[in-house]
Amino acid sequence: MGRKSAGVAGLVAGMALLAAGCGSGESAQPVPEAGKPVQVTFWGWAKGTQEVVDAFNKSHKDVQIKFEEIPSGNAGGYAKFSNAVKAGNAPDVMSVEYPQLPDFVNQGALQDISPEVADVTSKYPASVVSLVELGGKTWALPMDAAPQVFFYRKDLFEKNKIEVPKTWDDFRAAAEKVKKANGKARIATFFPDDPSVLAALSWQAGGKWFGTEGDAWKVTINDAPSRKVAGYWQGLVKDDLVKVQPSFSQEWNAAFENDTLWGYLGANWGAGVMKANHAGQAGKWAIAPIPYWDTPASGMLGGTTFGVSKGSKNAKAAVEVIKWLTGSQEAWTARLSSGTSSGFPAIADLLPVAAKSFDASFYGGQDIYALFSESYKTIQPGWTWGPSMVQTLTTFKDSLGKVATGETTLPGVLDTAQTATVNEIKSRGLNVAQQ
């Protein structure tokens, strides 16, 4: 499964070095002191992780996890990991989101764990496995998937007789009705600091920002589906039909509390965020599928994998740890029972455990995991992340902040990111196909 990613074999710099420097981690395994467990160090930030680590350590004697909670990836976590790899003191296990995985493979920061995880990759959908495979090798195990959904104030929608939008045309019409019902209220937010939302919406629309052509990367960030999405959101911003606020900011949360923000376009993990941040609004919120263009579809907004660092001397134990973290019922029960996470397991067989473990009373008892599951099934296939996503997302973030001031437009942001990404990939000595 995910074999189309095999074409990336010649496109990821440093593969030869990785083969020589990493192997599958079979060599240089330390011999633990008699009677003492192997200690696996783990860095991450996902909600509920401490509870999962506690559950692992309680149920395992031969291996123990030493967990360090670090800032989320783009808030400093990835820089910390990169620096640790260079200094030779990286953790054994590292959280890496799907977009950044090719970057870390490119840097030679992760080990090829293909042989050790061959027994579990069949449990994942091909569309998810393809996101952790590069060059026909597996570099991490997926923890969760992140299908898009729409959170909305059910009470306010019903009071003002606003139908929950099914299509993006419906969404704009509903946005106009929200603004008419309350001049200060808006249906959702445009985040000027979060390019991952634009990426997910482009993915949902059928965009494909990256691909391969022979031995070259194909970069089409400003393709037709993505331009359609950008133009649509440019119109919403121009016509003042959405708020423009930094993601998860104090002002964003305040808008929910004073009833001037009636919706949130997010992903399944947002259910835990909303529940934790707005407990006083329990029973007022519901979740619907993400609006679509032609037929129901979703992209992925987020999602975490666990990889084993290149220099790990506990690679064998580390692989066993990430298998348990991602694929055991006990791990998912611990994560979701924490009350802070609404993660959606990438392994479909674990869905009943997730649904049972998350208290959905905040959403009036709605079967939100059934909704997440339906959205998961509609994730558009064929999406590939590029080899320089840290740079690409930084370019996006720098440009998005200029949209609200009129210095640029969303379609213009796509063009800027396209040019900068092509230049960055070429500067790394990788081939880029002619557009």
Q: What ranges do the domains of the chain cover?
A: 3-145+302-346, 148-299+383-427
Residues near 258 by Cβ (< 8 Å), separated by ≥ 6?
Answer: none
pLDDT given at position 125:
85
For the chain, residues with pLDDT lower than 50 are 1-7, 9-10, 13-30
How many other CB atoms are found less than 10 A from the CB of residue 83? Answer: 11
pLDDT given at position 13:
42
Answer whether 3-145+302-346 and 148-299+383-427 agree in fold. Answer: yes
How far apart are alpha carbons 330 and 384 in whole angstroms?
Answer: 31
Radius of gyration for the alpha carbons in the chain, expressed in angstroms and rounded? 22
**Whether pTM exceeds 0.85:** yes
pLDDT given at position 154:
98
pLDDT given at position 434:
74
CATH homologous superfamily for 148-299+383-427? Periplasmic binding protein-like II (3.40.190.10)
Please identify which residue in the block is written with the tokens 């970057």: 103
Is the domain covering 3-145+302-346 a CATH 3.40.190.10 domain?
A: yes
How many other CB atoms are found less than 10 A from the CB of residue 298? Answer: 25
Which of these, 166, 131, 167, lies nearest to 146 by C-alpha position?
A: 131
* 305, β-bridge pairs: 96, 142
Which runs of consecutive H residues, i.e. helices, occur in 243-385?
250-257, 270-277, 315-327, 329-337, 351-357, 368-377
Longest dimension (CA), the chain: 72
